[in-house]
Structure formats: C-alpha cells, structure tokens
Amino acid sequence: MKGCPCFVLLAWACMLSFRAEGESAPDFVVESVAPQKAAAISWEGRKHEVLDALLIDKDVSIRLSQCSDITISCCELRSIELAQCERIVIRNCWIHDSKRCAVQDYQSRGLLVQGCRMGNVSTGVYAIESRGVQVIGNFARNVVGPYPRGQMVQFDNVTGAGNVIRSNYAINERAKSHPEDVVSIYMSAGEADSPLLIEDNYFTGDPFAGSDGKSKSGSGIMLADFGGAHLWCRRNVIISAGQVGIGVAGGAFIRVEDNVIYGARSEVSNTGLYAWNQSKKPGHDVTIARNRVDWTNHDGEHTGWWDGGGFDKLKVEGNEFEAKELASRLPPAPSQAPMPPSPYAAKNADGRVVARLPWKP
C-alpha cells in the first residue's frame, strides 16, 4: 500500500533469511523499546554516528553542523536542524509539536528523510541550497506555518542530481492547519539525465471540508516558482489541497504527467492545473500530459485547466480537464498507521538486540 513502510517488512524478512545453509532459523522476539530520554544534541564535525530510539523534548532536538554519515532513527523529536552536512539519514522518527520545521537543511549533500511521521510543525522538510535531497514515504498531518512556512516539503534552490519527493502522504485539517503549498519547488532544478522528481504522493485538504479555510495562494504542488528546470511531476493524487491543484509558475523542461487532481467547491478554490510563467524569466519546453482533473472554483464553475501564457513550446495532450466521474473514483488514501510510531527491538534467544525496527511488523 502506498505510504506503508514496506522497507520495514523487507528488512525483517531479510534479517531472518541471512543464515548459513542448513542452519535452522534462530528464534527472534520482537519487544517494545522505551525511547531513552536525552538532552538536546548539538554536534559539529562528527562522522559515522548513529542516534537511535531517543526521546528529546527540546525545541531544537538535534542540530548537526558539518557532520557526515549520521543516521537518526526511531526517535521522538521536536525538530532537526542541519547545516553543511553530508549523507544524513533520518528514518522512522516522530517529529511533532514545534514552531520550527520538522527538518531544516541548509547547504547539505545527500539527505534522506524516510518513513517519518510529522505533525503540528511549521513545515515538514525545508531544504535550502542543497543537493541530493530525498523525502520518501513520510506522513504529515497539519502543518501550521505561519507564511512563508506551511509546506510538507519545500525545496529552495535545491539543485543537481538525485532529488526526489516520493510516496508521501499529507493531510491538512480545517482549523488545525495553515498550509501554503503542500510541495513548493522554488528556484530549484534537477539535471537532464536526473530530473527532480515529485511522484506518487497523496495530498489532501480536510477530509470533510476540503480547501475551506485554506490559504488563497496555496496549492497542492507548485513547480518552478521564480524559475527552475528539469522537473518531473507524475502520478500524484491531489484532493482539495489548496486553491490550486498543481501549478507551473515558470521554468524549463518541466513535465506534469498522469496526475489525479480533484477539487470541490470552496471559498478559495480556483484552478485545478495551470501553466503560467510568472517568473519574469524565459520559460519553455513544458509538457502537460494525461492528467485527470475535476475542479470546481469558488463560483461553482468547472476550471480544470488554465493556460496563463508566457511559455514557449507548451505541449498539452491527452488530458481530461472535466473528468466529472472522478469524485466517485478517487484512489484510496494510504495508511496513516502507526499513530504514533514506537520503536521495537528484535532480540535473539540470549536477549541480544539484532535489529531495531520502527514499529512491530
């Protein structure tokens, strides 16, 4: 199931399978682990470290500067700040209830945020002037801003190869959240042979009220805000996540393909999908293909698509901009479990911990 931590089950299966030929499988016991309370961590220049199953109830729980090859796993935290780091892994953590970003990253290379749960934070993942950022398989409930924050993920001048936003799930409930764009790609660019990917995500507004009460400038996914290049936005599901479903606001070599975009009427609903070069920079080679859109604006009109102009070589093909049966055939939401995650340890017969799991499989 999309959003389900399948890598956990895979790791568990692999752990059981690695044994000598003819040797019987050892008996493993999976037990809950109480996260160890710890003081806030601030490291500079550290390498090859693991932070595992910690509970840090400080507003800046972990701050890393010029560190490399650090793994943060199965922790309960308020926020993580990274500066000029390399190869940082943040996996299976619960990051919540902070006026800061859950993860803020500045001028780093090789960041992976995977399988984390984030809630009631200013922004989920905010990456600035970084390269090789991957945000995969996370769940965010209620980002609270305030503006200019309020995203599940924002890439700000993120460039180079290997940048990915994939298989994430976000919900922003009415009166509990203040989102802008769920995903904001601001002045960021991939490369011709490694485009920046935004794919297989599921973003929704309030399950009942849709985009009522949301920002009049927010969207589900905003691409190439103030310019960008080599962006590929595909196979995402957007359900009343903002006043716009997906927008292309500038840039070059951008593909928006095979997305499902639905928006019920609300006081802020505007357009399901648009291409409008607002960047005051040359925009070209934009493809809008095979998207299915059913969007109703605040006046009750169907407004699935808008071409605002400003792009050379804009290709629009194979789309359904009035897919009126979409409301009854929306893809089901991914799982929200666990709520919240709790770390578990797999132990063998003598009690030795042989693997740390984010939660019991």
Q: What's the pLDDT tens digit per position in 204-216?
A: 999 999 999 899 9
DSSP state for residue 296 in the 8-state scheme:
B
Rounded-to-integer distance, Cα 264 and Cα 308, Å: 22
To the nearest 10°, the Cα dihedral for 249, 250, 254, 258? 10
| CA-to-CA separations, 331 to 2, 18, 29, 233, 261, in angstroms, rounded | 11, 37, 37, 18, 11
Residue 359 pLDDT: 64
Residues 73 and 112 sit within 8 Å (Cβ to Cβ): no
Rounded-to-integer distance, Cα 122 and Cα 195, Å: 28
Instruction: Say if 28 falls within a structural domain.
Output: no
Instruction: Say if 360 falls within a structural domain.
Output: no
In the structure, what pLDDT confidence band is assigned to residue 276 with cuts at 50, 70 and 90? very high
Instruction: Say if 80 falls within a structural domain.
Output: no
Instruction: Say if 359 falls within a structural domain.
Output: no
Region 14-32: what's the mean pLDDT?
53
First to last CA, the chain: 14
Instruction: Say if 295 falls within a structural domain.
Output: yes
Instruction: Say if 45 falls within a structural domain.
Output: no
The answer on pLDDT for 1 being more than 70 is no
DSSP state for residue 180 in the 8-state scheme:
S
pTM of this structure: 0.90
Instruction: Say if 283 falls within a structural domain.
Output: yes
The answer on pLDDT for 52 being more than 60 is yes
Supply the CATH number for residue 294's domain: 2.160.20
Rounded-to-integer distance, Cα 359 and Cα 151, Å: 26
Residue length, the chain? 361
The answer on pLDDT for 47 being more than 50 is yes
- What total of structural domains would you count in the chain? 1
Residues 169 and 191 sit within 8 Å (Cβ to Cβ): no
Instruction: Say if 57 falls within a structural domain.
Output: no
Residue 360 pLDDT: 60
Tell me which residue range forms the domain holding 276: 122-336
pLDDT digits (tens, 9 = 90+) for 57-79: 999 999 999 999 999 999 999 99
Per the prediction, the chain carries an average pLDDT of 90
